[in-house]
Amino acid sequence: MTPTPDLTARATGPVPVGSVPGHRAGSSSRAGQPGGPATVGRPVLEAPDIGRALTRIAHEILERNKGAGDLCLLGIPSRGVPLAYRLGALIAQVEGSTVPVGALDVTMYRDDLRLRPARALEHTELPPEGVDGRTVVLVDDVLFSGRTIRAALDALGDLGRPRSVQLAVLVDRGHRELPIRADYVGKNLPTSMTERVHVLLEERDGRDAVTVEKTTAATPAAAARTGADDE
Amino acid sequence: MRTTPTTTGRYVVTGARVLGREPTDLLLEDGVVAEVGPGLARGRAEVVDADGLVALPGLVDLHTHLREPGREDAETVETGTAAAALGGFTAVHAMANTDPVADTAGVVEQVWRLGREAGHCDVHPVGAVTVGLTGERLAELGAMAESAARVRVFSDDGACVSDAVLMRRALEYVKAFGGVVAQHAQEPRLTQGAQMNEGELSGVLGLAGWPAVAEEAIIARDVLLTAHVGSRLHVCHVSSAGSVEILRWAKSKGWNVTAEVTPHHLLLTDALATSYDPLFKVNPPLRTGEDVLALREALADGTIDAVATDHAPHSHEDKDCEWAAAAMGMLGLETALSVVQEAMVETGLLDWAGVADRMSSRPARIGLLDGHGHALEAGAPANLVLLDPAARRTIDPFALASRSRNTPYAGRELPGAVVATFLRGVPTVLDGKLQ
Amino acid sequence: MNRHLLSGADLSHADALLVLDTAEELAQLADRPIKKLPTLRGRTVVNLFFEDSTRTRISFEAAAKRLSADVINFSAKGSSVSKGESLKDTALTLEAMGADAVVVRHHASGAPHRLAHSGWIRGSVVNAGDGTHEHPTQALLDAFTMRRRLNGDRPLGTDLTGRRVTIVGDVLHSRVARSNVLLLHTLGAEVTLVAPPTLLPVGIDAWPCTTSYDLDGELAKSDVVMMLRVQRERMTTEGGGFFPSAREYSRRYGLDRRRVAVLPDHAIVMHPGPMNRGMEIAAEVADSARSTIVEQVTNGVSVRMAVLYLLLSGSTEITEVTA
């Protein structure tokens, strides 16, 4: 049987070339999400900066864990997933062997489900090796209140029992609301609550960049409701 | 409108447009219209200023459910006739499906007496055709005819006299005292469990259909029986375009057949069932827009003789539930004239003389009521209604005089308002208020 | 999505795909060690069943429990309902108990509609089958099953454009047929209803589907054949006398091996259950590889989870979902 995809159904953008496995292009549907290469706000990281940051994080992960032996990288949709695959590729370059990479959707574990419109679920895909007994590195684009990571830890706990869990983020913008910190940070980016951080990635958005936009939203929750960062 | 208080019991209605014509005055005295003409001497009479109001002969309803005895929680003779007076009626026919059923002289006399005591309008009980409305054997029609209630209209309304032999016998039997059989035309097997008009919507809504043919088949049979035995038939609440065609044919043959249509079948359609709100559940059911137009046309050309309300009060519990569990029927007395104004007068199909004919004269003739339905001329009984055709009112179920609230027009704006009703020269309603 | 799910027509194309895609993700849960999500923790789902239907009730119950909702089963049998308590009073009781969602099965068409729109309760109402009206979650699980079987292992985002679905049986009394016609039409499928003329409702010409009295003429072009349950009582005089005998029905409208042989290779056979083996469907057909009958039951839980999640999460003010 050949599937008959309805091309009009979820046409939120063209399918990027080289889209990562297990990741649905254009599947996210939140209003206000940067869906194209247009720059919103002040650029803080350009493509080469992002590349260097990820390379450094890949090395730090290997250094901290003394190799890639039990590693498993889990990206948090949507933009954590391509980042996880990039880190996996970088680690493989250094180590010469592949690292299991997957995606972990945390939607059903969020603590703000009642406050926001129901959202489509993203795909969760664990590598065949599973997570039991492994060192899982959660990968996300922006660390903000910490609530997404809290949800990710709960989701992970229902999937298995990792030996340890670490966190890698491209940008840490501060304003934590929970006792959570990242093990690997691409860039610490001091922001005010009224600012919004946009992460653009080649795989989804056609180019790499991080920008900061001024808004009127004053809290992470309010920012989230208006469709801000991938927090 | 103001009245000048005196104590004579004489009224001069000034400036009324009788049947919508030029303004004139009417003197009401000793229960009759004593004089008609412009600029009548007022003398010691109370003056009823009817400037801008239309005067019609008091309305006559051939089809009212007063619910007493048996369901006094839904309506009583007192509340039902109050509603009738407020709607401009001076006579109503009280249907027989009470508990106990009005199938004996005793019950019809009781209802008749309750009507006299209430005094809001004349109550003419309808006698059941068959004992207990069960369609098995004739009730004592003669005894009811000879009783104080002088019953002339017989009906099993709510149930159809579906047995052809029994219907034939009833038609024959009532000839002895000039009676008429008012048939609730509904073939029972074709309508088992029926919930709404059978058509496009019943299929979509998953509600068992009440096909128009179940009405038309009985009407066709009954007009033929009527012709065969030379009797008189009245068809209750005609609801379909097909029924109109059969009636038109029967009348063209000169057969003694009359028919009524309800106000709701002149205005509302089955599309209202999509709400699943049982306020719109009625028997026969609301039908399609084409049926509504055919019924209006038939009322206009006289194929349908009369508007009859089928005023059917139901308690809140019987309507505030799921569709299938709900009782069938809707209130009608207090909105009938307004609905007819909207459906027939404002559409140009009937003038006020036509309304008087279909809501007073003809129903009075069908029911053989000597004291009602007369033209407002000198010497006629002083039964009349004054209405303000320019008024518009939004129907509030809680402002109705009926004990029940099941009006399908709740929240709807309707034209016209009854300002006064006189029964034999005595106001039952003045300034829109019950006297 | 609307606040309630009462009819197959309540779902736009985007809504329907959102439910199906969400269900697709939730179906993965079955392979996980912990088959439970915390999503609806602290929320109450009431299964209000005025009619016996163990299958549908346990499907909704499993769905709600896998989302960590508190589930209250309220069966009319043996309760105050059978002692004459009205739908309204029952609803007021549920409201007092703080039901966030009421899953209602009722013998009267439109009862869920009344529950949702009469102001008796504030929660979401999910129609779990009302009289001879609709059964929208059955239609969703049917569409979900078709999509999986016909559109491949990862059918996300796809609809059923151009697929030919033949629904056979007692359409007149079938809530499954009504909901399926509406939903499958939304999803682009071409639906044909096949039944003896006595079992097709008046006015069916206006439905977004075609009709036929001849099953054999439809089989060769069908991607899906869905057999509806036909109650044997329908042939009796008291039951309406809709067809002369079970044998004649089975011969003209039953799906047996001979008829299945005419189907295209990829075509699937569905049945919402419970089946009358030997009446509308031969046992060997029901148990064949084409049959999706067991999958339909499994898929029912995923689809109902998706429906409960989408109706109950999210703010009450913001109901617009872009997809």
- Residues of chain C with C-beta less than 8 angstroms from the C-beta of A131: none
Whether residue A133 lies inside any domain: the answer is: yes
Please determine, for residue B188, whether its predicted confidence score (pLDDT) is greater than 60. Answer: yes
Instruction: Report the phi/psi class of residue B8: left, alpha or beta, with left for phi > 0 and alpha for psi in -120 to 50.
Output: alpha
* DSSP letters spanning B280-332: G--SSPP--HHHHHHHHHHHHHTSS-EE---B----GGGTSS-GGGSPP-B--
- Residues of chain A with C-beta less than 8 angstroms from the C-beta of C320: 117
- Choose from B200, B202, B204 for mutation: most chain C CBs within 10 A: B204
CA dihedral B116→B120→B121→B127, nearest 10 degrees, is -50
> Which CATH number goes with the domain that contains A152?
3.40.50.2020
Residue A30 contacts residue A227 (beta carbons within 8 Å): yes
Q: Which residues contact B381 (CB under 8 A, 6 or more apart)?
A: B31, B32, B33, B371, B372, B374, B424
Residue B121's alpha-carbon distances to B19, B84, C156, in angstroms, are 21, 7, 71
Domain extents for chain B?
A: 11-55+379-434, 59-366
- Choose from B196, B276, B290, B321 for mutation: most chain C CBs within 10 A: B276
Mean pLDDT of chain B: 96
Looking at the DSSP bridge assignments, the partners of residue B427 are: B422
Q: Are strands B89-94 and B122-125 parallel, antiparallel or unpaired?
A: parallel
Query: Does residue C274 have a cis peptide bond before it, meaning omega lies within 30 degrees of 0?
Result: yes
Identify the band that residue B2 occupies on the pLDDT scale cut at 50, 70 and 90: very low
Could you tell me the two tokens for B432? Answer: 């829109």
pLDDT value at residue A18: 38
* DSSP letters spanning A162-212: -SEEEEEEEEE----SSS---SEEEEE----TTEEEEEE-HHHHSS-EEEE
Higher pLDDT, C81 or C21: C21
Instruction: Report the phi/psi class of residue B37: left, alpha or beta, with left for phi > 0 and alpha for psi in -120 to 50.
Output: left
* DSSP letters spanning C266-296: T-EEE--S---BTTTB-HHHHTSTTB-HHHH
Tell me the pLDDT tens digit for each residue of C277-319: 999 999 999 999 999 999 999 999 999 999 999 999 864 443 3
d(CA C100, CA C125): 9
Could you tell me the two tokens for B249? Answer: 């044919």
Q: Which residues contact C265 (CB under 8 A, 6 or more apart)?
A: none
Please determine, for residue A24, whether its predicted confidence score (pLDDT) is greater than 80. Answer: no
Please determine, for residue A228, whether its predicted confidence score (pLDDT) is greater than 60. Answer: no
The DSSP element (H or E) to which A78 belongs, if any, is: none
Residue B138 contacts residue B129 (beta carbons within 8 Å): yes
Task: Kindly report the backbone phi and psi dihedral angles of residue C314, in degrees, each rounded to the nearest multiple of 5, phi listed first.
Answer: 95, 150
Q: Count Cβ atoms below 10 Å from residue C205 Cβ, excluding itself.
A: 11
Angle CA(C238)–CA(C241)–CA(C243) in degrees, nearest 5? 150
Q: Count Cβ atoms below 10 Å from residue A70 Cβ, excluding itself.
A: 17
Q: Between B and C, how many CB-CB pairs are < 8 A?
A: 79
Residue C192 contacts residue C220 (beta carbons within 8 Å): no
Which segments within chain C are labelled E, that is strand? 44-49, 70-75, 101-106, 124-130, 164-168, 190-194, 210-212, 224-227, 268-270
pLDDT value at residue A2: 37
Do the chains A and C touch each other, judged by at least 3 C-beta pairs below 8 angstroms? yes
Q: Which residues contact C83 (CB under 8 A, 6 or more apart)?
A: none
Residue B95 contacts residue B157 (beta carbons within 8 Å): yes
Residue B184 contacts residue B236 (beta carbons within 8 Å): yes
Residue B245's alpha-carbon distances to B199, B265, B291, B292, in angstroms, are 19, 16, 11, 14
For tokens 């359409």, name the residue.
C171
d(CA B211, CA B191): 7
**CATH of B11-55+379-434 among 3.40.190.10, 2.60.40.10, 2.30.40.10, 3.40.50.150:** 2.30.40.10
Identify the band that residue C48 occupies on the pLDDT scale cut at 50, 70 and 90: very high
pLDDT value at residue A41: 85
Distance from CA of A105 to the nearest CA of C (A): 10
pLDDT value at residue B5: 47
pLDDT value at residue B405: 97
Please determine, for residue A40, whether its predicted confidence score (pLDDT) is greater than 90. Answer: no
CB-based contact, A11 to chain C, within 8 Å:
no
- Chains touching chain B, criterion 3+ CB pairs below 8 Å: C
Out of B203, B206, B208, closest to residue C204 by CB: B203
A-proximal residues of C, 296-315, CB under 8 Å: 309-311, 313-315
Instruction: Report the phi/psi class of residue C129: left, alpha or beta, with left for phi > 0 and alpha for psi in -120 to 50.
Output: left
Identify the band that residue C198 occupies on the pLDDT scale cut at 50, 70 and 90: very high
Residue A89 contacts residue A225 (beta carbons within 8 Å): no
Residue C174 contacts residue C200 (beta carbons within 8 Å): no
Residue B68 DSSP code: T
d(CA C235, CA C196): 12
CB-based contact, B209 to chain C, within 8 Å:
yes
Please determine, for residue C323, whether its predicted confidence score (pLDDT) is greater than 60. Answer: no
Task: Kindly report the backbone phi and psi dihedral angles of residue A43, in degrees, each rounded to the nearest multiple of 5, phi listed first.
Answer: -70, 135
Q: How many domains does chain A have?
A: 1
Residue A212's alpha-carbon distances to A32, A43, B117, in angstroms, are 14, 6, 86
User: Minimum mean pLDDT among B78-87, C17-26, C72-81, C216-225: which range?
Assistant: C72-81
d(CA A18, CA A11): 18
Do the chains B and C touch each other, judged by at least 3 C-beta pairs below 8 angstroms? yes
Tell me the pLDDT tens digit for each residue of A99-119: 999 999 999 999 888 877 888
d(CA B263, CA B200): 23
Could you tell me the two tokens for B188? Answer: 């029972």
Identify the band that residue A166 occupies on the pLDDT scale cut at 50, 70 and 90: very high
d(CA C192, CA C213): 10
Tell me the pLDDT tens digit for each residue of C161-189: 999 999 999 999 999 999 999 999 999 99
Tell me the pLDDT tens digit for each residue of C272-285: 988 999 999 999 99
Mean pLDDT of chain C: 91
Query: Which residue of chain C comes nearest to B325, CA vs CA?
Result: C108
Instruction: Report the phi/psi class of residue C314: left, alpha or beta, with left for phi > 0 and alpha for psi in -120 to 50.
Output: left
- Residues of chain A with C-beta less than 8 angstroms from the C-beta of C34: 158-159
Starting at the edge strand found earlier in the chain, the sheet holding A195-200 runs: A42-46, A209-214, A195-200
Looking at the DSSP bridge assignments, the partners of residue C73 are: C47
pLDDT value at residue C79: 55
CB-based contact, C208 to chain B, within 8 Å:
no
Check B203 against C133: CB less than 8 A apart: no
Check C321 against A118: CB less than 8 A apart: yes
Identify the band that residue B44 occupies on the pLDDT scale cut at 50, 70 and 90: confident
pLDDT value at residue C78: 55
A97 CB burial (10 A radius; 0-12, 13-18, 19+): exposed
- Residues of chain C with C-beta less than 8 angstroms from the C-beta of B206: 109-110, 130-134, 175, 178
SS3 category, A80: helix
**CATH of C8-135+297-312 among 3.40.50.1370, 3.40.50.2000, 3.30.530.20, 3.40.50.620:** 3.40.50.1370
Kindly report the CATH number that applies to the domain delimited by B59-366.
Answer: 3.20.20.140
B291 CB burial (10 A radius; 0-12, 13-18, 19+): buried
Identify the band that residue C320 occupies on the pLDDT scale cut at 50, 70 and 90: very low
Identify the band that residue A17 occupies on the pLDDT scale cut at 50, 70 and 90: very low
Residue B260 contacts residue B235 (beta carbons within 8 Å): yes
Domain extents for chain C?
A: 8-135+297-312, 136-292
d(CA B163, CA B104): 21
Identify the band that residue B41 occupies on the pLDDT scale cut at 50, 70 and 90: confident
- Residues of chain A with C-beta less than 8 angstroms from the C-beta of C157: 5-6, 9-10, 24, 27
Tell me the pLDDT tens digit for each residue of B238-264: 999 999 999 999 999 999 999 999 999
Q: What angle separates helix B105-118 from helix B77-86, to the nearest 10 degrees? A: 50
pLDDT value at residue A38: 57
Question: Which positions of B are catalytic?
Answer: 310
Distance from CA of C106 to the nearest CA of A (A): 28
Distance from CA of C173 to the nearest CA of B (A): 8
What is the rounded average pLDDT of the residues A134-158?
96
Domains C8-135+297-312 and C136-292 share a fold: yes
User: Minimum mean pLDDT among A55-69, A145-159, C64-78, C105-119: which range?
Assistant: C64-78
d(CA A170, CA A168): 7
Task: Kindly report the backbone phi and psi dihedral angles of residue A226, in degrees, each rounded to the nearest multiple of 5, phi listed first.
Answer: -85, 0
Please determine, for residue A7, whether its predicted confidence score (pLDDT) is greater than 70. Answer: no
Identify the band that residue A48 occupies on the pLDDT scale cut at 50, 70 and 90: very high
Q: What percent of chain C has pLDDT over 90?
A: 77
Identify the band that residue A5 occupies on the pLDDT scale cut at 50, 70 and 90: very low
Q: Does domain C136-292 have CATH number 3.40.50.1370?
A: yes
pLDDT value at residue B42: 83
Could you tell me the two tokens for C166? Answer: 């033949």
pLDDT value at residue A10: 35
Please determine, for residue A25, whether its predicted confidence score (pLDDT) is greater than 70. Answer: no
Distance from CA of B208 to the nearest CA of C (A): 9
What is the rounded average pLDDT of the residues C102-107?
95
Tell me the pLDDT tens digit for each residue of C228-275: 999 888 888 888 899 999 999 999 999 999 999 999 999 999 999 889
Tell me the pLDDT tens digit for each residue of B347-394: 999 999 999 999 999 999 999 999 999 999 999 999 999 999 999 999
